[in-house]
A and B are shown apart, each in its own frame.
Chain A
């Protein structure tokens, strides 16, 4: 297993190198000039040219890429063109809200979706199953921002139960932290709930049709025990897979959610950087995202062994 993990970690480096090159190339080719943004609306050609020179933006692609890779090799993701702050510091400032949002969403989604999926499969063909599936379709169909506005209007503006926007650090108190994450997590998690519910239901239906389930039922085990201890455990692997794949969905959804709820997370950092052509931030964040995505999928692969002892690496 250790050899497998090392192999996968090494492949992560290769993936990140490819991502780094592609992103750098794309940014180089994309229209947009940070010097023009820095100079502001009332700038002249001369002003922009001066900033170009200072930032080395006129250097050839190879020189710019080489400079970035050399800094990266020393663990330096560069400095924001606009704020003059190190990219690592900016990402550090933003990582907690995004991790909190993602974790809360994952917890809420799994806590809601697994029981719903199991319930729907156990009551397949009944009104309950249809209701769960209808909810699932709705969850897929409603855009995150629409749901977010409805939640804000209902729970923040009308009922005044939860804050409209912003984020509180975990160390400032768990309740304040949680209060600021409830609505964003629901908004972001709904599509994820829909996805996991459908997969759980489908996977459970397949397992419930197996002989050993029938045997367990014939032996007189309680229906709940059959569902949880026998069926769900064996249906878990496709569900785990979809949770891993869904991380990409969460990352893209987090960008919208963070914007609507004004959460100072990495998603917003990325969007702002793209709009302003703050290249070092875009490159740094993309690298981090790609690493997270690969590592999450590695963790999911390793988790298979926890659910199915037959799997060995």
Chain B
């Protein structure tokens, strides 16, 4: 073959390809209402039970339904359940499912599906485990009716089944729910208002859902995850755009309809656009936290931890994370401010003018010998990074030997599981944040626990805290529950399992042609209409 022939062949192939493409019709659905949404993170794991990632929880709300749900007034409401009753001895609950519940594979939702789903969830979730501890057994009476029998009264049984954040007790078909609780499920089949389109899923880029036309919503108006889940669009596309400047440009240009969470510095840019609405739709926001390593000096000494309570200035952290006090507030509580159990009991050291002298006194009393303090930082997570820098600076002001070691989130979450001392890759402090619903009471606030090896990273041991937590579980009415929660918090401010650093809200932004966006601590997509 001559050189000329080679060049000619290349040109012909190119022309043929171009011709084919020019003649190909665009495969776009006509007349469909498509909601294009930029999620806070990329959906990687489809199983809302094996992971606590919020993006997977939100995916769960798209395709699954729950037996109960918490509404905006923090009341438990039936969701898949039509009616339920509790026996007089408070040991037996009988649930009856609503009519017309159907999974996306066409099979009806049966009692056995619900039981298997709850049992799998209870193996992973902390509140679920607590429920499992007191459970005598689940029993299917018939396809629509099942019972829960308890060993002893457990006032939080319904709250557990209505748990709004990770892990949420979503209902799956029995054959899927029988999967080992540590193994990711591979089929995303629920009975929720949207269906997951697996064929169009491009991890790292796009997730597609279509309206579940078989879904029968409740009649009540939507309130958080309770009430009627009426879907008003035909299709939802989650388009993951990792670069926030590009995401802002895409929303401004109208290429997408809704951006779930934006960094505070881009708020003014989007607020200028009259076709875009920037709004705080999360009534509870999130809480930043500073976690200690209790295994090694200096923070194995309570006085060192207490010293920090006197110098951590929450206003600085709100500004650092959220950019403005408009997007956050100080919250001197271990339970999310704005929820029934929040209070400022025991919080005096955190409030008012910061007292460096008092902190130095406590440090002296602790016998601090200049041990190195390592703060592990994740520079790819702005919320973690800003907190790390602020804490580093505060500790330096106290004259402590501190080093902020920068890495990425993947490194931080690996390193924080190390129980080694500092000189062998260990750590002293890390920061993270949790959404409001994960900190509303002693049952879901796992960071407050003092169960040693079984506790969250940092592994604090405090029998008294555990005892008070157990006492809270035994509380039978709102007043005694509040009193018990106050006791837990008072002890927490003495023992300091972690320091709450700020309550902040990352606003959402959407095009003004959207309406019906639900105000809730989770991003929910039913009721949203595109005009």
Task: List A residues at the B interface (Cβ < 8 Å).
Answer: 31-33, 36-48, 50-51, 54, 80, 82-85, 90, 93-94, 149, 152-153, 156-157, 160, 163-166, 170-177, 259-262, 264, 268-269, 272, 275-277, 306-307, 309
Contacts and interface: CB of A to CB of B under 8 A. Distances in A.
- By size class, the interface of chain B is 35 or more
A280 B16 CA distance: 37
Contacts of B253: 156-157, 160, 163-164
A276 B56 CA distance: 15
B410 A276 contact: yes
Contacts of B132: none
B184 interface: yes
Contacts of A156: 249, 253
Given A83-B203, A93-B202, A173-B25, A260 B246 contact: yes
Given A94-B202, A156-B253, 7 more contacts: A47-B124, A51-B50, A54-B182, A171-B27, A262-B205, A264-B204, A309-B3
Contacts, number: 160
Contact of B21 (A47, A54, A177, A261): A177
Contacts of B348: none
B413 A41 contact: yes
Nearest to A42: B52
26 contacts: A31-B411, A36-B417, A39-B50, A41-B53, A83-B45, A93-B202, A152-B246, A163-B253, A163-B255, A164-B250, A165-B246, A171-B24, A172-B24, A172-B26, A174-B22, A175-B22, A177-B21, A259-B243, A261-B246, A262-B239, A262-B240, A264-B204, A264-B206, A268-B242, A277-B414, A306-B3
Nearest to A40: B52
B456 A149 contact: no
A176 B28 CA distance: 12
Contact of B166 (A33, A38, A40, A259): A40
Interface string B407-433: 111110111010000000100000010
Nearest to A156: B253
Contact of A268 (B205, B417, B434): B205
A268 B202 CA distance: 12
B214 interface: no
Nearest to B3: A306
A270 B52 CA distance: 24
B184 A84 contact: yes
Contacts of A93: 202
A157 B202 contact: no
B183 interface: yes
Nearest to B20: A171
A262 B242 contact: yes
Given A275-B408, A275-B410, A39 B52 contact: yes
B252 interface: yes
B446 A42 contact: yes
A166 B28 CA distance: 15
B453 interface: yes
Contacts of B6: 306
Given A42-B166, A83-B203, A164-B250, A173 B22 contact: yes
Given A54-B183, A170-B21, A36 B204 contact: no
Contact of B203 (A85, A149, A160): A85
A176 B52 contact: no
B454 A44 contact: yes
B186 interface: yes
B178 to A, nearest CB: 16
A173 B26 contact: yes
B249 A153 contact: yes
Contacts of B282: none
A132 to B, nearest CB: 26
B195 to A, nearest CB: 18
B365 interface: no
Given A32-B410, A277-B410, A42 B438 contact: yes
A308 B456 CA distance: 68
B380 interface: yes
B245 interface: yes
B18 interface: yes
B529 interface: no
B42 interface: yes
Contacts of B182: 47, 50-51, 54
A262 B52 contact: no
Given A174-B22, A176-B26, A268-B204, A84 B186 contact: yes
Contacts of B166: 40, 42
Contacts of A173: 21-22, 24-26
B33 interface: no
B205 A32 contact: no
Contact of A164 (B21, B44, B255, B457): B255
B525 interface: no
Interface string B231-275: 000000001111101100110110100000000000000000000
A99 to B, nearest CB: 12
A82, A85, A269: most-surrounded residue (chain B CB, <10 A): A82
A172 B27 contact: yes
Contacts of B202: 93-94, 264
B446 A260 contact: no
Contacts of B7: 306
B208 to A, nearest CB: 13
Given A33-B417, A82-B45, A262 B241 contact: yes
Contact of B434 (A37, A42, A82): A42
Contact of B45 (A38, A90, A94): A38
Given A32-B414, A42-B434, A48-B417, A166 B255 contact: yes
Contacts of A264: 202, 204-206
Contacts of B50: 38-39, 51
Most central of A41, A51, A90, A157 by chain B CB within 10 Å:
A41
B243 A260 contact: yes
Contact of B239 (A54, A166, A275): A166
A174 B25 contact: no
What 10 pairs across the A-B complex have the smallest Cβ distances?
Answer: A264-B205, A40-B52, A174-B21, A33-B414, A42-B52, A82-B44, A262-B241, A50-B182, A36-B413, A164-B250
Contacts of B407: 31
B51 interface: yes
Q: From A164, A175, A264, A275, name the one whose CB has the most chain B CB atoms within 10 angstroms.
A: A164
